């Protein structure tokens, strides 16, 4: 099955007959053993109006050229115009389309760099890649491998329309990815250790609900070490998955340490908590230890002292004790 270019030359030089007829596409032949992608398609099977079936009708000039090409893939069951040169079915190719499922373009240069462009009704993908240098001179019967350099992808589906860009290291491992949709932007940076790829930094901006931005740092094992969250109303710094949390709002700052400590400073009060101990200050002081409150305990002392009966000598000055009790209520609260 020679190239269509050579066939056209033969047609021109030998005055061969060219026949074009309408046919229906009955099968899309994907290339399972393709060098690049198992979804590559170079031929289709068609059925003529008289019921005759012609297999492996070309979509590109040379179906033996697997490295590059420009291909339009018709929809299955759609009608096409097929052309046969000099009545030889192995020379058949699709010359016109009525419905297109997708188009595919692969360019190659002399440095074994490739640009692939894949378009569908709700998807556009552009991929830059190259053949691994150690395999550029491999025998023709050895399937080469390729490493990605960068990729741009647009998903136009109504429920999840987004654009994403991805970059890869010298070995083809993903090092960063950014995605964008109508409500959110996210960038992920990764580090590579051999074949082990770990996310290390993640930055997200969202306008859904309460507009916010979030930056997350992870260690080499993928565990979260720090997360910074900002929105219209507050800023939060989260260390080591909640072991330590700083929460900053307008006129309020709060610190929480896992397993017991909490501190809040605002324009209305100051609060410190450690296990069962509470110290709170606004216009008064509040000190609790477990279920015990300093004010009530002092009031109990004064009450007990006031009730002391002295048989001889001078007893407690109850009036002064009651005044102290009043003063305590001005200083302390329950």
Q: Which of 5, 45, 39, 3 lies closest to 24 in space, CA to CA?
A: 45
pLDDT interval class at 248 (50, 70, 90): very high
pLDDT digits (tens, 9 = 90+) for 133-147: 665 555 555 677 889
Measured CA to CA, the distance from residue 326 to residue 333 in angstroms comes to 11
Q: Is residue 146 part of a domain?
A: no
Q: Is residue 44 part of a domain?
A: yes
Considering 100, 115, 149, which residue would you say is the last residue of a domain? 100
Q: Is residue 248 part of a domain?
A: no
Q: Is residue 310 part of a domain?
A: yes
**Is 115 a residue whose pLDDT tops 50?**
yes
Q: Is residue 229 part of a domain?
A: no
CA atoms within 13 A on the CB side of 90: 3
For residues 97 and 72, is the Cβ–Cβ distance under 8 A?
Answer: yes
For residues 29 and 57, is the Cβ–Cβ distance under 8 A?
Answer: no
Structural domains in the chain (count): 2
As a whole number of Å, the end-to-end CA separation of the chain is 95
Residues 6+ apart with CB under 8 A from 218: 198, 199, 200, 201, 202, 224, 225
**Is 51 a residue whose pLDDT tops 50?**
yes
Measured CA to CA, the distance from residue 80 to residue 74 in angstroms comes to 8
Considering 100, 134, 169, which residue would you say is the last residue of a domain? 100
Per the structure, the complete domain to which residue 74 belongs is given by: 4-100
Measured CA to CA, the distance from residue 203 to residue 100 in angstroms comes to 39
pLDDT digits (tens, 9 = 90+) for 151-181: 999 998 877 899 999 999 988 899 999 999 9
Q: What is the pLDDT of residue 1?
A: 39
Considering 100, 124, 143, which residue would you say is the last residue of a domain? 100
CATH of residue 79: 2.40.50
What global pTM score does this model have? Answer: 0.72
Q: Is residue 76 part of a domain?
A: yes
pLDDT digits (tens, 9 = 90+) for 204-226: 999 987 899 999 999 888 888 99
Q: Which of 62, 84, 60 lies closest to 73 in space, CA to CA?
A: 60
Q: Which of 22, 26, 60 lies closest to 43 in space, CA to CA?
A: 60
Burial 159-187 (b: 16+ CB within 10 A, else e): eeebebebebbeeebbbebebbeeeebbb
């Amino acid at each position: 099955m020679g190239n269509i270019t050579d066939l056209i030359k033969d047609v021109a030089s030998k005055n061969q007959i060219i026949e074009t007829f309408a046919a229906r596409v009955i099968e899309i032949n994907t290339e399972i053993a393709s060098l690049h992608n198992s979804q590559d398609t170079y031929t289709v099977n068609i059925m003529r109006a008289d019921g005759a079936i012609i297999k492996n009708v070309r979509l590109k000039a040379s179906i033996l050229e697997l490295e590059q090409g420009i291909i339009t893939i018709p929809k299955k069951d759609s009608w096409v115009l097929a052309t046969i040169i000099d009545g030889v079915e192995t020379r058949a190719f699709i010359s016109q389309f009525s419905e297109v499922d997708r188009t595919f373009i692969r360019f190659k240069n002399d440095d074994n760099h490739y640009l692939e462009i894949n378009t569908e009704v709700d998807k556009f993908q552009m991929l830059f890649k190259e053949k691994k240098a150690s395999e550029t001179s491999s025998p023709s019967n050895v399937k080469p491998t390729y490493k990605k350099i960068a990729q741009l992808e647009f998903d136009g589906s109504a429920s999840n329309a987004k654009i994403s860009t991805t970059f890869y290291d010298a070995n083809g491992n993903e090092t960063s990815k950014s995605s964008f949709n109508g409500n959110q932007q996210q960038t992920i940076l990764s580090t590579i250790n051999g074949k082990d790829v770990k996310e290390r930094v993640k930055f997200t901006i969202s306008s859904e609900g309460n507009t916010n931005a979030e930056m997350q740092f992870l260690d080499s094992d993928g565990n979260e070490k720090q997360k910074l969250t900002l929105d219209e109303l507050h800023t939060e710094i989260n260390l080591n998955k909640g072991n330590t949390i700083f929460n900053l709002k307008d006129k309020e700052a709060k610190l929480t340490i896992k397993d017991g400590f909490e501190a809040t400073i605002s324009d209305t009060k100051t609060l410190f908590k450690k296990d069962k101990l509470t110290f709170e200050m606004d216009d008064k002081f509040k000190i609790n230890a477990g279920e015990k409150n300093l004010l009530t305990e002092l009031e109990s002392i004064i009450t007990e002292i006031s009730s002391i009966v002295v048989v001889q000598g001078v007893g407690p000055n109850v009036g002064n004790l009651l005044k102290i009790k009043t003063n305590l209520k001005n200083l302390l609260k329950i």
